[in-house]
Amino acid sequence: MDDFTLVGARPQAPLPAQKKVPWYRGKPVAAYLVLGLIVLGCLLWSAFSKTDAGYMDLSACNLAPSRSHLFGTDTMGRDIFAMIWSGGRLSLIIGVCSTLLSTLIAVFFGSLSGCAGERLGGLLTRVNEIFISIPNLLLIVLLQAILGQASVWSLSIVIGLTSWMSIAKVVRTEVRVLRGSEYVQAARCMGGSFLHILRVHLAPNFLPSILFMVIMNVRGAMLAESTLSFLGLGLPLEVVSWGSMLSLSEKALLTGSWWMIVIPGVFLVATLLSLTEIGNAIRRSLGHSQKIL
């Protein structure tokens, strides 16, 4: 058979090679690195150092940073370098534990409110809005006054019990959209309980939407603990945390010991900013453009 040629056909130009996007593009690499180093330092400090963060050397009070004391000492002669890593571990424990508690409450309350009928759902929504309208710090102070002397676990419980409302509101909105899905209706028809439907069908669908709020709750819990300690309502001075270290700010200003405020403040601010950047990155990946402040 003779060859033939299509008239007017133009040869297609080869497509330009697509540039490979670097894996770090759009990701807060610096925030991950800073937060990772701080967390590792707090977790591994006790394993690699024999320095007691609570040891008081009255002959070495208010010493400026030097070779023997890299970050200086406080008014009671405690080594600030050791206090940073030991206290950071307690601050992180409070932030993580309180966030776990608040997330569990928010998921259960928000899912129950979203799956309930109009009357019960409306009542639960009003209750949530009432709690949101109350200043969070007032609730923390009230509950902590009821529990008595502050400790790591009491602060974790109190902060967790007062920081679930915003997440619950988002969960309720997501559940109201998901409850009409065919697989949820089929699970109900097959006799699935509320907890089964929540665990198998609802939670896997709305958890990505609240992930950035969960990370922000860790930041908020650490900030709340530091605020309470700064006001003299948090952990006692003998329990080392970043908040309790900042509670010595008055004595530091009177003695001119700037390192007692600046160094713990830098570590706390670096941790909070890293969590904020990670939360913003997660928010952008979910299609939201509003930044978290």
Choose between 92 and 293: higher pLDDT: 92
Residue 282 in tokens: 């997660």
Closest among 95, 136, 127, 97 to 109, alpha carbons compared: 127
Taking all residues of the chain, what is their mean pLDDT, rounded to a whole number?
A: 81
Q: Tokens standing for 99?
A: 């966030």
Residue 291 carries which DSSP code?
A: P
State residue 18's pLDDT score. Answer: 66
Q: Phi, psi at residue 184, to the nearest 5°? A: -70, -45
For range 215-233, the mean pLDDT: 83
19: three-class secondary structure by DSSP: coil
Domains of the chain: 29-45+73-287 (1.10.3720.10)
- Lowest mean per-residue pLDDT among 45-54, 127-136, 219-228: 45-54
Nearest to 227 by CA among 131, 106, 95: 95
Does residue 217 have a pLDDT over 70?
yes
Residue 102's H or E segment, with its range, is helix 80-115
Percentage of the chain beyond pLDDT 90 is: 5
Lowest mean pLDDT among 18-27, 176-185, 271-280: 18-27
Interacting residues of 225 by C-beta distance below 8 A, sequence separation 6+ = 91, 94, 95, 155, 159, 234, 235, 241, 242, 243
Q: Report the range of poorest mean pLDDT among 46-55, 112-121, 123-132, 202-211.
A: 46-55
In 8-63, where does DSSP find H-type helix? 29-48
Q: Could you report the per-residue pLDDT of 99-148, keeping only the tens digit for each? A: 999 999 999 888 888 888 788 888 888 888 888 888 888 888 888 888 87
Query: What is the reported pLDDT for 292?
Result: 42
d(CA 226, CA 234): 8
Beta bridge partners of residue 73, listed in sequence order: 79
Q: What is the pLDDT of residue 290?
A: 43
Dihedral in degrees, nearest 10, Cα atoms 212, 215, 216, 222: 180
Residue position matching structure tokens 């701080």: 38
d(CA 241, CA 92): 9
Provide the 3-class DSSP secondary structure of residue 43. Answer: helix
Q: Specify the pLDDT at position 9.
A: 55
pLDDT of the residue at 220: 87
DSSP character for 73?
B
